[in-house]
């Protein structure tokens, strides 16, 4: 698959879980990948496997976010895509959360996403060739017990995604969000008995490849839900099923 051939993509939180799967999927689709994670060893390992470059650090640090984009531009002569995946949570009642917990969730999930997207969009505007940004949201924004702070942070990301899509449109910059359903360490925190059976992160990675590719040119401002087989988009009335899909090409066709 060569949907991303010739493109450079920055993936945050790519040392483990969904981010790791996204990095591998992008590389398999032909992209050059800048791998970020707060775990430097994990970032280096993934970068070595996908043939990319590692840039460790917390995206909640403005200078780290700036460096990620600068590395893409310096090493690969530009940036075409960003997957703002890095995120943290803590399962706890609101009265059991401390200042440090709340700050960490806000700094990584909200500011980290905003910092990375800001630097990526600046570079894309300067390059004058457009680009694609994919953020990551969650059903927790609608309310899950013990995840109010995390849900609030993902609600903020959804709002930023909608605004950025409008801001970026005149410059050819597309901004969409994914709401993935996969079995990860973070998903395991939410152990509700009514949760559907989830597949591995690799099952949902094709959705980000589709959104980063030119096959979804014109698709922007969407929140896309994907579980590895069923694709839906969120509107004011809730999720709307688009159909079954297991590969990036089919996903792109359904989104168009």
Q: Count Cβ atoms within 10 A of the Cβ of residue 83 and give its class: 0-12 exposed, 13-18 middle, 19 or more buried.
A: buried
With tokens 């997207």, the residue in question is 117
Rounded to an integer, what distance in angstroms lies between the CA atom of residue 167 and that of residue 122? 12
With tokens 């457009």, the residue in question is 130
Query: Does residue 119 sit within a domain?
Result: yes
pLDDT at 187: 54
Whether 150 is a known active-site residue: answer yes
For residue 108, what is the domain's CATH number? 3.40.50.720
Q: Which strands sit side by side in the sheet containing 238-244, from one edge to the other?
A: 53-54, 32-35, 8-11, 81-84, 131-136, 173-180, 223-226, 230-235, 238-244
Query: Does residue 3 sit within a domain?
Result: no
Rounded to an integer, what distance in angstroms lies between the CA atom of residue 151 and that of residue 119? 25
Confidence of residue 185 (pLDDT cuts 50, 70, 90): low
pTM of the model: 0.93
Query: Does residue 2 sit within a domain?
Result: no
Query: Does residue 168 sit within a domain?
Result: yes
Query: Does residue 1 sit within a domain?
Result: no
Q: In terms of residue numbers, what domain contains 243?
A: 8-255
- Chain mean pLDDT for the chain: 93
Query: Does residue 100 sit within a domain?
Result: yes
Q: Count Cβ atoms within 10 A of the Cβ of residue 64 and give its class: 0-12 exposed, 13-18 middle, 19 or more buried.
A: buried
Q: Which of 76, 150, 226, 234 is catalytic?
A: 150
Query: Does residue 224 sit within a domain?
Result: yes
Domain count, the chain: 1
Res 195 pLDDT > 60: no
pLDDT at 64: 99
Res 198 pLDDT > 80: no
């Amino acid at each position: 698959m060569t949907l991303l051939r010739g493109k450079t993509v920055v993936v945050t939180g790519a040392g483990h879980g969904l981010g790791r799967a996204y990095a591998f999927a992008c590389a398999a689709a032909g992209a050059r990948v800048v791998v970020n994670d707060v775990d430097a060893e994990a970032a280096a390992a993934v970068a070595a496997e996908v043939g990319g470059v590692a840039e460790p650090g917390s995206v909640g640090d403005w200078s780290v976010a700036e460096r990620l984009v600068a590395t893409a531009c310096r090493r690969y002569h530009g940036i075409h895509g960003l997957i703002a995946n890095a995120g943290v949570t803590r399962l706890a009642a609101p009265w059991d959360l401390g200042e440090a917990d709340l700050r960490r969730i806000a700094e990584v999930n909200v500011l980290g996403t905003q910092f990375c997207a800001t630097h990526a969009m600046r570079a894309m505007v300067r390059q004058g060739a457009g680009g694609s940004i994919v953020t990551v949201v969650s059903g927790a924004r609608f309310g899950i017990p013990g995840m109010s702070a995390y849900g609030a942070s993902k609600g903020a990301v959804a709002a930023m995604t909608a605004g950025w899509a409008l801001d970026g449109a005149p410059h050819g910059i597309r901004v969409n969000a994914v709401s993935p359903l996969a079995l990860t360490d973070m998903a395991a925190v939410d152990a509700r008995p009514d949760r559907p059976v989830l597949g591995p992160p690799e099952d949902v990675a094709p959705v980000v490849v589709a959104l980063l590719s030119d096959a979804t040119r014109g698709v922007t401002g969407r929140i896309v839900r994907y579980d590895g087989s069923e694709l839906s988009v969120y509107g004011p009335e809730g999720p709307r099923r688009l159909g079954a899909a297991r590969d990036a090409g089919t996903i792109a066709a359904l989104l168009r």
